[in-house]
Amino acid sequence: MRTAYFDCISGLSGDMLLGALVDVGLDTKVLREMISSLGLEKVCNIDATRVLKNGISATQVIVELLEKKQTPRRLSDVKKIIRDSNLSNSIRTRSIRVFERLAKVEARIHGRSVEQVHFHEVGAVDSIVDIVGVVTGLEVLGITNAFSSPLPLGSGFIQTEHGNIPLPSPATVELLQGVPVYDSGVKGEMVTPTGAALLTEFVTEFGRLPSMKILASGFGAGTRDIPDRPNVLRVIIGEPAFRDAEETQTVAVLETNIDDSSPEFLAYLMERLLEKGALDVAFFPAQMKKNRPGVQVQVIAQPNRTEELSQIIFEETTTLGIRFRFDQRKVLARTEKMVESPWGKIRAKVVERKGKFLLVPEYEECRMVAKRHNIPLRKVYTWIQSRDENMSDSK
């Protein structure tokens, strides 16, 4: 189980996050392959260079536009670019989720519908590369948990196509609801909407550096210079401090009871909740008032997903209220491993318990293999579970 801690000493942006991941080991070849998969190789190129920021060596990622005039894009256009790629299902899903959140915020701020929003900023080619690149980097580097420091915000105004708007921008403020922030004292933009949307997508807790055994660290550079601090974002990669450590996490538990919903609607509700980041969704039989049989819906999620998932439950069911609480859960150390099989490489989880390792099949991976080779799903599962792996090289 690898953990990333983002130390946002000078705020963050999409390119700073991407630069930090490259500095800590993400190969730029992976990013070029990602650009090709998105069908953007003819409109942009990516490069990484080393720069000094107040004496600190950092990686600056530059997206070079090969076309001066960019095509205006709506949310549906951006989603099509991502969906038509051959990136993994998890990368496509998470990247689209970031853009959907950005679109909803922009629509609310400018008084438009989501589809009326032109992504003149966050839908530009460089932002697509930043967002999908960061999501890809986290998966490639095997990051399963992410934490962040509180975020420093700037002040003043910034020029946009809508005119001068105050800093921090309204979109950034809305995306950072529930996140600890403070005034940096810097005049200028410290946290961009793209950076805010990305960080709140995968960070579960904002605060101090968690207990870990440090494996690597790196710096991603911003484009401008700040007089009183290096304009860099630091990422620290680590693993549990003790080999058999069980990590304790805080999760939100949402519950509601329903006695008048169609089974088809509940199936769709589960699908939407899982797509939007729910960790688990379960339905339990319930005997409700007036002796009516019903269903209890239980959702487990990261705390920062509470509001978004609650809205989905209200939209897709007839419930008038949702109970929620914050609980603790213990999870075993886990990583991902590409396993050589008779049907090619298959991604599986590696779970560690008391010095022993167990390969756990990933359903979506196994399903694709079973369909591609026209074999029973159970056969793929059984093959993976029967492997007696020496996992010393998977750490």
pTM (predicted TM-score):
0.68
pLDDT at 241: 64
Q: What is the rounded average pLDDT for all residues in the chain?
A: 88
Task: Examine the fold and report which residue of 331, 352, 376 is the final residue of a domain before the chain moves on.
Answer: 331
Pair (172, 75) in one structural domain: yes
Where on the phi/psi map is residue 60: left (φ > 0), alpha (ψ -120 to 50), or beta?
beta
Task: Report strand pairing: 44-53 vs 56-65.
Answer: antiparallel
| Paired residues of 98 in beta bridges | none
Contact 184, 190 (CB under 8 A): yes
Query: What does the pLDDT average to over 51-80?
Result: 88
pLDDT at 393: 44
CA 150 – CA 10 distance, rounded (Å): 11
Query: What does the pLDDT average to over 203-232?
Result: 91
Pair (322, 341) in one structural domain: no
Pair (311, 363) in one structural domain: no
Structural domain containing residue 273: 248-331
- The rounded percent of the chain whose pLDDT value lies above 70 is 92
23-44 pLDDT, tens digit each: 999 999 999 999 999 999 988 8
Pair (183, 324) in one structural domain: no
The beta strands (E) that lie in the chain are given as 2-7, 44-53, 56-65, 143-148, 151-160, 163-167, 181-187, 205-206, 213-221, 232-239, 247-258, 280-287, 293-301, 323-331, 334-341, 344-353, 356-361
pLDDT above 60: residue 388:
no
pLDDT band at 240 (very low <50, low <70, confident <90, very high): low
Query: What does the pLDDT average to over 315-328?
Result: 91
Pair (266, 361) in one structural domain: no
Pair (274, 221) in one structural domain: no
Q: What is the largest CA-CA distance in the chain?
A: 71
Pair (324, 364) in one structural domain: no
pLDDT above 50: residue 392:
no
CA 331 – CA 311 distance, rounded (Å): 27
Pair (262, 231) in one structural domain: no
Contact 23, 220 (CB under 8 A): yes
Q: How many CB atoms lie within 10 A of CB 336?
A: 17
Q: Tokens 């020029």 appear where?
A: 159
Query: What does the pLDDT average to over 75-81?
Result: 91
pLDDT above 90: residue 161:
no
Q: What is the CATH number of the domain that holds 316?
A: 3.30.70.1380
CA distances for 180 relative to 101, 112, 153, 208, 305, angstroms: 19, 29, 10, 11, 16
pLDDT above 70: residue 245:
no
pLDDT at 302: 84
pLDDT band at 390 (very low <50, low <70, confident <90, very high): very low
Higher pLDDT: 119 or 302? It is 302
pLDDT above 60: residue 120:
no
Query: What does the pLDDT average to over 83-109?
Result: 91
Helix (H) or strand (E) holding 268: helix 263-275
- Lowest-confidence region among 315-324, 351-360, 376-385: 351-360
Task: Examine the fold and report which residue of 289, 316, 331 is the final residue of a domain before the chain moves on.
Answer: 331
pLDDT above 90: residue 125:
no
Domain count, the chain: 3
pLDDT band at 119 (very low <50, low <70, confident <90, very high): low
Q: What is the DSSP string of 63-100?
A: EEESSSSPPP--HHHHHHHHHTS-S-HHHHHHHHHHHH
Report the range out of 67-81, 150-164, 261-275, 354-368 with the highest average pLDDT: 261-275
Q: 283: which 2 tokens?
A: 């339905």
Pair (20, 160) in one structural domain: yes
Task: Examine the fold and report which residue of 173, 204, 239 is the final residue of a domain before the chain moves on.
Answer: 239
Pair (252, 324) in one structural domain: yes
pLDDT at 394: 42
Pair (87, 154) in one structural domain: yes
Reference 197, options 124, 127, 281; nearest CA is 127
Pair (284, 267) in one structural domain: yes
pLDDT at 255: 97
